[in-house]
Amino acid sequence: MSFRMLAVSAFLVLHFLAGFASPIVTGAQDELVKVPGGYLLKSNVHAVPEGGRIVHSSDSVQLIDAGGRVLHYASLSRSKPAFTRLNRPSSEVRRNLESAIVAAIWDAPSIFTFTSDWIVPPAPQKYSNQLLYYFSALLPPSGDAFIQPVLQYGPSVAGGGAYWSVGSWFIAGDTGYYTNLTQVLSGEQNVYPFILDEDEFLGTPTTHAWYCGFEFHQQESSLNIQTSETFNVAYVALEAYNAISLLNLPGQTTNIVNIAIANDDNEFSSPIPWTLFNDTADGITMKVVSASNGDGAALQIQYVGNSSSKQGLEGERVEEQLTMKTSRRH
């Protein structure tokens, strides 16, 4: 692993962990809401209407409707990373399941497409308004914005409840945008998040165009983004909020399979040199099952101690199936 990759990966995770520290807001009259990546003021989080798009530059972000009308405009400051003006991390705050994260990060030379299959987990054994975000995202090296199709369990500012749903988010600075949520079946189907480069059709000499969402749910979940930044950091994560115990998490491993990350030449650099960040103190870990990019790459999220015997057998069985599938392709 290069020093640059290690430095960028460490910066990104520390950046997001800062967003998980107990927020301290002086004189704030607005409500803080939990978004993928941390907390934002509710007044800074906006729904994207069908056909809407995001225009993101170095100093601003705009929400534009299908007719070209600007629905929202926000100035951006590069002086601080996203969320830190709203969340001042304290070294005295012990992280726990009320705000936990595991992640896999790859700082790639370039990214043209990022696709994967998420096997929708079974519902947690207990529901207590916990909020779980699972996502495959792209970020710039600065870590100040990200594009992400999200698999969600629990209630958020975008909606949701005691069921799984999918939608897309774009966050820049202290501003967030989300699409409508679509409910998906627990443990009975896969969902297929994608992030595609559309520079060939919609890009300009100074901007990049991205299209993200979920296959088979594109009308409800898709989002078009135009940005002046280069998004070349792949970020796969679980973020948990308001969980009381591991019973508030799925009772078996969560599998992300068929991961394919193409570069600007539409080639698949393999193996993917993931950098993993685990939360062993809280019993949640991310594991690389296969790093074979474009040929069965897979990650696995394990919940140690949660229905341990069932999860252990299920995890071993799924891992064996994924390994056999990958082996047959070589």
Summarize pLDDT for 169-215 with one digit per residue, the tens.
999 999 999 999 999 988 668 999 999 999 887 777 788 999 999 99
Q: Which two tokens stand for residue 321?
A: 């199936």
Distances (CA, A) of 237 to 138, 189, 276: 11, 20, 10
Query: Could you give the percent of the chain with pLDDT greater than 90?
Result: 62
Answer with the residue of higher pLDDT: 178 or 144: 178
Distances (CA, A) of 29 to 32, 43, 225, 320: 9, 10, 30, 52
Helix (H) or strand (E) holding 15: helix 3-20
Three-state DSSP state, 3: helix
44 near 174, Cβ under 8 Å?
A: yes
Three-state DSSP state, 67: coil
CA within 13 Å, CB half, 312: 5
The backbone region for 314, taken as left when phi is positive above 0, alpha when psi lies in -120 to 50, beta otherwise, is alpha
179: closest CA among 38, 51, 37, 30? 51
Of 121-135, 195-209, 232-246, 247-261, the range with the lowest mean pLDDT is 195-209
For residue range 273-322, list pLDDT tens digits in order: 999 999 988 889 999 999 999 878 999 999 986 544 344 444 444 444 44
- Bridge-partner residues for 190, per DSSP? 119
With tokens 């009975």, the residue in question is 188
For residue range 11-65, list pLDDT tens digits in order: 555 555 454 433 434 344 679 999 998 899 999 999 999 899 999 998 999 999 9
Mean residue pLDDT across the chain: 82
Counting DSSP H helices and E strands in the chain, the numbers are 4, 21
Max CA separation in the chain (angstroms): 60
- Bridge-partner residues for 214, per DSSP? 193
